[in-house]
Structure 1
């Protein structure tokens, strides 16, 4: 028997990604929540998947909800941090920032890439009945802030085009990648396609090549 630390005996050698037992627990829970369902997954089954005792899991997480909260936070934290960085840049100009829409495209591309490339498709858990409660207020607030930042970055882009706000619609397009992935239909180009579609719906399709180039420069600079 090997040990993960004081009071945390392991039944077997670590077999999951992660530098710590906590990270291994999150990985196991992510797999089980997305493959057999949140309600059907017990803390015992998570502990078994990691190779630790159930009592040892409680050293890291007091409840199954605590595990879900950390996992949900992880789906938005990267995109939110990047969107905050983009939104805090000085006022955009074509000379320094590329054409209008570049910042929105960069946020959509970065966020969409995170959703498509994460080890587990945790976005499918967004609409669990449990997640709507105040217990998950931190995640819900962060997701709402990210949505509002999309809206801020898209404000005015679609002024000449009838229809929904371009930023909010782009947010919805990016989150649709979660369900595309659930259907096994995500490709390496899916995140770019969602970002492009948002820009096209803003009426900026003619400038898409220049927007793409400026978007990538922003990602390279801030990510």
Structure 2
């Protein structure tokens, strides 16, 4: 599918930097402050007053953007999956369809760039008990659909006739590799999305049973519009 390009994720500012009033809108200031506090102090221990103070706003002003603390967390989490889901949908809908290995590599790279490029490790918040609540239904649906996209690409790459249970397990392992791999890589502040995302994508194809030669070909496919 030479020449077909898909948009790259909007990778966040360098992770060493904190929220800057001169660079962020009021809404973005609130989200950045919430992300900092949720990941540093924990969701339950963070108050909306603390978020407003860190964002440099009055608490009443913060409510102009978000009425509840749940809204802050839901918005942050949705932002970690919805761009990758849109990218994955485009891959599945593309005609002619791309090589499955190249498509899977591109999606993993895109997803990894998105997760790694943000200011904070929001993946760590996925397992909060609060995320099981109704307010987070959209996030859970989007993540479930993203998992399904991974599953379709994995099925195309392996064999449609492969046992369903095996494909389900491999899909779970694949998603765990992306989310867990990015979270682990973030422990080293000197690493960049440019080095981490392709490495995670390579590992994903190895998990899927691809040879080194096929991985190399997947790397050269132009599915993101990004330079290799």
Deviation at 1:185, TM superposition (A): 7.4
Q: How does 1:170-185 map to 2 (within 5 A)?
A: 170-181=174-185, 183-184=187-188
State how far apart, in whole Å, the 1-side matches of 2:216 and 2:162 are: 20
Equivalent residue for 2:66, pick from 40, 61, 69: 61
Superimposed CA distance per residue, residues 30-49 of structure 1 (whole angstroms, 9 cap, x where no aligned partner): 11111111111100111111
1:199 counterpart residue number = 205
Cα 1:172/1:184, change in 2 over 3 Å: same
Cα deviation 1:57-110 (Å, max 9, x = unaligned): 112111100111111111112211111111110243xxxx4x441101100111
CA deviation after TM superposition for structure 1 residue 15, in Å:
3.9
Query: For residues 107 and 186 of structure 1, what CA distance do their matches in structure 2 show?
Result: 24
Contact (CA 8 Å) 2:116, 2:183: kept in 1 or not? no
Give matches, 1:32-43, under 5 Å: 32-43=37-48
- Judge conservation of contact 1:106–1:219 (CA < 8 Å) in 2: yes
Larger RCO: 1 or 2 (CA < 8 Å, sep 6+): 2
Please give the alpha-carbon distance, in whole angstroms, between the structure 1 residues aligned to 2:20 and 2:216: 44
Residue 219 of structure 2 corresponds to residue 212 of structure 1: yes
Q: Distance in 2 between the 1:39 and 1:182 partners?
A: 23
Q: CA RMSD in A?
A: 2.4
Highest CA radius of gyration, 1 or 2? 1
SS in 1 for 2:143: helix
Indicate whether 1:87 and 2:77 are aligned: no
Runs of 4+ in 1 over 6 A off after TM superposition: 160-163
1:126 has 2:140 as partner? no
Unaligned runs of at least 5 residues, structure 1: 1-13
CA separation in 1, counterparts of 2:37 and 2:22?
15
Identify the match of residue 75 of structure 1 among 69, 72, 80.
80
Q: Which runs of 5+ in 2 are unaligned?
A: 1-18
Shift of 1:134: 1.9
TM score, norm. by length of structure 2: 0.79
Shift of 1:169: 3.2
